[in-house]
Structure 1
């Protein structure tokens, strides 16, 4: 008897025709659903119980994860999720509520943003997660520049051999120029955002500058002002103690440190740029001889 492991799954999902070709017929599919070993997503689409819930919700709508939602599913940095971004093939019909495939999506999708593709997608590619180049292109066109660059920076933390030049050549000129802001050395989304905000404000920044004894900072303005950019997961008490100790060590060496919280970077970016500019105006970014 055919096993579910014989099925060619796409992000944990499969069309009924794919199941049938693998020897899992309609009667067995019904039994597996009744036993909880399969989940009926919508007509003709089934998922494994451990499939990414976001992928399942997108398939319920009638498409695949796209934009910011797809970036997160691919393990890339993405801003906090406030909606489900779903790409639907131009021939797609009968869009459904992401939490109940029996309910039509309706004219007011609420927390769902639907993107219609200009191309006709093969059935197998119409659900799951959009390909990486497509996702990055979508992020560049829909997200703030600093967030889009943070997402592309994070690609290098998963694949250091990512062909940025090849990807940039596939973009329109107005988006190609943004790729000049990408820096593979960035170690977090918050660091990328601060760097891009400052560079686009005319403030030069050094990335991951060495401070001696194997230590580095996130960013350096001038030759003295260190910028530390806390990431979303950087809230553990132990991390905070280490940060304060490191800031004190750097102060003893004469450096000035500005530390920015993740929420400030994401939701009050103007205050970040204003703080750095004020320190520059005071001359605190340069050594005084």
Structure 2
């Protein structure tokens, strides 16, 4: 009965080397027959997986490692950057790295859509068999992503269910000896409700402008970012304005905020990510009419 093979692989976490299966009493023939019958997936030579595992787990395993960093947080439900790359942790001395989509080809070291980290030796073999823990992944993000993307990824991850959420004290432990990355933790804020909000907040801070996220301006209304108590930045997305009713409701909301005495700048996801100069210019011109929004040096 080959059903023992998929059962054992599931018991091992969904991914198993042939030597592990043979060491638990299975035969080579049982493993090969189970694969031929479509019960399991052969990821690369000598490595098998349960059917139905997420693609990135399979692709990282095919490279020769574990889903990590931004890829790990995204799999758990965190914010994902446009054109994301696959982040894979491998052993420090790993050599036979394969293409994530073709086990028969070696990994092209020049691929921009795959980031290989040689830090898997530190992983817990029991809890990090398939992907890096939330706290380790957050630490990797702070080390290997831009400050604004790192903030967007970790802000959103800190809003996930408890077991999928990074713990900042653990993140700091993983960052021992990395002073710059540890300092970036101060820029995180889980109140942000969208990646574009986090990115705008961090980019404004880089320009010396402090923006507070998700501020209540009356009993029923919150704004995305508030600067100096009067300038509102609303980070808008087509996803939330895809119907005439939603668009109409948002226009009424903006008029209500303005009627409370606030100046409102609306910036789209695309503008924040890909045309920041236009957003920054609008904010700077608005602030030029008032004082006091600049952070102290």
TM over 0.5: yes
What is the alpha-carbon distance in structure 2 between the residues aligned to residue 86 and residue 166 of structure 1? 20
Matches within 5 A, 1:51-62: 51-62=53-64
Aligned to 2:219: 213
State the TM-score, normalizing by the size of structure 2: 0.83
Deviation of 1:81 (Å) = 3.0
- Which of the residues 269, 272, 276 maps onto 2:276? 269
Aligned to 2:250: 243
| Structure 1 runs (4+) greater than 4 angstroms displaced | 20-25, 120-127, 159-162
Matches within 5 A, 1:227-242: 227-230=233-236, 233-234=239-240, 236-237=242-243, 238-242=245-249
State the TM-score, normalizing by the size of structure 1: 0.85
Deviation of 1:168 (Å) = 2.7
- The farther-off stretch of 170-179 and 92-101 is 170-179
What is the alpha-carbon distance in structure 1 between the residues aligned to residue 112 and residue 260 of structure 2? 53
Aligned to 1:141: 143
Gap runs ≥5 in structure 2: none
Contact 2:139 2:172 in 1 (8 A): no
Contact 1:90 1:117 in 2 (8 A): yes
What is the alpha-carbon distance in structure 1 between the residues aligned to residue 47 and residue 226 of structure 2? 51
Say how many residue pairs are matched: 285
What is the alpha-carbon distance in structure 1 between the residues aligned to residue 101 and residue 72 of structure 2? 18
Provide the aligned C-alpha RMSD in A. Answer: 3.0
Deviation of 1:104 (Å) = 1.9
What is the alpha-carbon distance in structure 1 between the residues aligned to residue 141 and residue 238 of structure 2? 20
Aligned to 2:172: 168
Give the direction of change, closer, same or farther, for the CA distance of 1:159–1:118 in structure 2 (3 Å limit): closer
Give the direction of change, closer, same or farther, for the CA distance of 1:24–1:190 in structure 2 (3 Å limit): farther
What is the alpha-carbon distance in structure 1 between the residues aligned to residue 264 and residue 12 of structure 2? 49
Deviation of 1:93 (Å) = 2.5
Give the direction of change, closer, same or farther, for the CA distance of 1:193–1:16 in structure 2 (3 Å limit): same
Aligned to 1:116: 118
Aligned to 1:252: 259
SS of the equivalent of 1:278 reads helix
Aligned to 1:188: 194
1:250-279 CA deviation, whole Å, 9 max, x = no partner?
A: 223332221111111122223322221111
Give the direction of change, closer, same or farther, for the CA distance of 1:166–1:41 in structure 2 (3 Å limit): closer
What is the alpha-carbon distance in structure 2 between the residues aligned to residue 187 and residue 263 of structure 1? 17
SS of the equivalent of 2:138 reads helix
What is the alpha-carbon distance in structure 2 between the residues aligned to residue 248 and residue 129 of structure 1? 46
